Chains A and B, each alone.
Chain A
């Protein structure tokens, strides 16, 4: 085995291990989505296709909520675009840590960049540039998990239990809180978080749809830019 292949394997394993808890959360949430889709008339094939092609959980729940005949296709596409605009910030931020990965692979790798994969990759990126193996280990296994369990959920249908009972609805929030703490760099981070949270709350309260993530996120980023003084590195 060449050194490169060996290090791909060990880096893949490191990424897979960091991401593994997420597999346990993805599977039931995907099944829940599949079951809601089945409730709107989705076949197993349609649920599979949507989870494989769109692959963005929150926006898929939004789309299912909007699903009715006749299908408001344009409105749905625009809504999904807005709900998913945060991925633009994710990709812009993580691309800075992808310098050691062949650029021709970037368009493929970015396809599987979900909230969770991105958050875990950014945490690793605090220590240095990402390797191809690590990124693949984090981001790729989640994709089949998501679409396979979506299809299973659509097959099982409405008989799934209530995720609120076992606290599953809180699992992703807990993960994001945990990763958020890893980005703490002092009072400025506190200011960024406070501004983001305040704007997101206002946006969530006053504006329908998924704007709150983008508006809160941008407000926090703007606060960070404003707090930066030119004489520092």
Chain B
């Protein structure tokens, strides 16, 4: 048991530092775009941010973990393609990954 309200001062310093670092990443995106006219090539680039970053985020799980995860990802994408609601799609992913692991994939 670590105590409920113990506070190491160096730990607090680290936490505040990490909080500031994280907020910097968030606010810098806003500041960067201030007064920028978004059109043409820049618009094409920014429009690609969501699919591109989402793909990068899921790559280790979907492509580099195992067969069960990769196959479950295909099942999930199929459910999304068939316009299943978000919660249903997530459940399809979770159920298929558990099932595939259970089957020994």
- A residues near B (Cβ < 8 Å) are 18, 20-21, 25, 38, 41-46, 49-50, 53-56, 59, 63, 71, 73, 76-78, 80-81, 84-93, 95-96, 106-107, 110-111, 113, 115, 119, 122, 154-155, 157, 164-171, 173-184, 189, 192-193, 195-197, 199-201, 204-205, 212-225, 227-228, 230
Contact = CB atoms under 8 A, between A and B. Distances in A.
A54 B22 contact: yes
A80 B29 contact: no
A121 to B, nearest CB: 10
Contacts of A216: 52-53, 55-56, 59
Contacts of A43: 2-7
Interface in B14-62: 14-19, 21-30, 32-33, 38, 40-42, 44-62
Contacts of B17: 73, 76-77
A81 B24 contact: yes
Contacts, number: 295
Contacts of B98: 165-167
Contact of B7 (A45, A167, A177): A45
Chain B binding surface, main DSSP class:
helix
B24 A177 contact: no
Nearest to A41: B2
A167 B19 CA distance: 30
A182 B80 contact: yes
Given A88-B28, A220-B55, 4 more contacts: A44-B3, A170-B61, A178-B89, A195-B52
